[in-house]
Amino acid sequence: MAIEVVDTTLGPVEGTLGERVHVFKGIPFAAPPVGPLRFKPPQPPAPWTEAKPVQEYGPAAPQPRDLVLEQMFGHAPFPTSEVSCLTLNVWTPHRGAENRPVMVWLHGGAFLTGSGRDPVFDGSRLASLHDVVVVTVNYRLGALGFLYLGELLGDEYASSGNVGLLDQIAALRWVRDNIAAFGGDPGNVTLFGQSAGAMSVLSLMAMPAAQGLFHKAIAQSGSAECTHTRERATAVARDVLAALALPEHEAHRLLELPVATLLYAQQSVVEVMRQRGDALGLPFAPVVDGPTLPRAPLEAFTSGAASPVPLIAGTTLEEGRLFLVGPESPNVDDAAVTALFDTEFDKPEEALEAFRGVQPDTSPMGLLAALMGERMFRAPTARLLEAHAARTSQVWTYLFSWRSSARGGQLGACHSLDLPFVFDNLHAGGADRFTGKDAPQRLADALSSAWASFAHHGHPGVPWPAFDTAHRATMVFDVTSRMVRDPWNGVRLLTDSSWRPPSCESDGCRGFLTCSSG
Q: What is the 3-state secondary structure (H, E, C) of 49-118?
A: CCCEECECCCCECCCCCCHHHHHHHCCCCCCECCCCCCEEEEEEECCCCCCEEEEEEECCCCCCCCCCCC
Q: Which residues contact 425 (CB under 8 A, 6 or more apart)?
A: 119, 120, 121, 122, 125, 431, 444
- Which SS3 state, helix, strand or coil, does residue 124 take? helix
Counting every residue written for the chain, the total comes to 518
Closest to 448 (Cα-Cα) out of 119, 248, 456:
456
Of 368, 299, 346, the C-alpha closest to 496 is 346
Half-sphere CA count of 128, side-chain side, radius 13 A: 14
**Residue 186 φ then ψ, to 5°:** -65, -10
Q: Report the amino acid identity of residue 463.
A: P
| DSSP-derived secondary structure letter, 311 | E
All structural domains of the chain with their residue ranges: 1-518
Active site residue 195: yes
Low-confidence ranges of the chain (pLDDT < 70): 1, 95-96, 277-281, 326-328, 495-518
- Pairing outcome for strands 482-485 and 311-316: unpaired
Element (H, E) at 475: strand 473-477
Q: Name the active-site residue from 195, 200, 448, 517.
A: 195
State yes or no: is 350 an active-site residue. no
Query: Does 415 participate in catalysis according to the annotation?
Result: yes
The pLDDT of residue 278 is: 64
Judge residue 310's burial from the number of C-beta atoms within 10 Å of its C-beta, 0-12 exposed, 13-18 middle, 19 or more buried: buried
Contact 342, 348 (CB under 8 A): yes
Q: 203, 415, 416, 503: which one is catalytic?
A: 415
Can you give the pTM of this predicted structure? 0.94
CA 282 to CA 196: how far, in whole Å? 10
Query: Which one from 319, 416, 481, 517 is the annotated catalytic residue?
Result: 319
Q: Which amino acid makes up residue 184? A: G
Q: Which of 509, 331, 419, 503 is nearest to 119 (CA)?
A: 419
Query: DSSP strand E in 21-113: where?
Result: 21-28, 52-53, 87-93, 100-106
Contact 370, 359 (CB under 8 A): yes
CATH superfamily of 1-518: Alpha/Beta hydrolase fold, catalytic domain (3.40.50.1820)
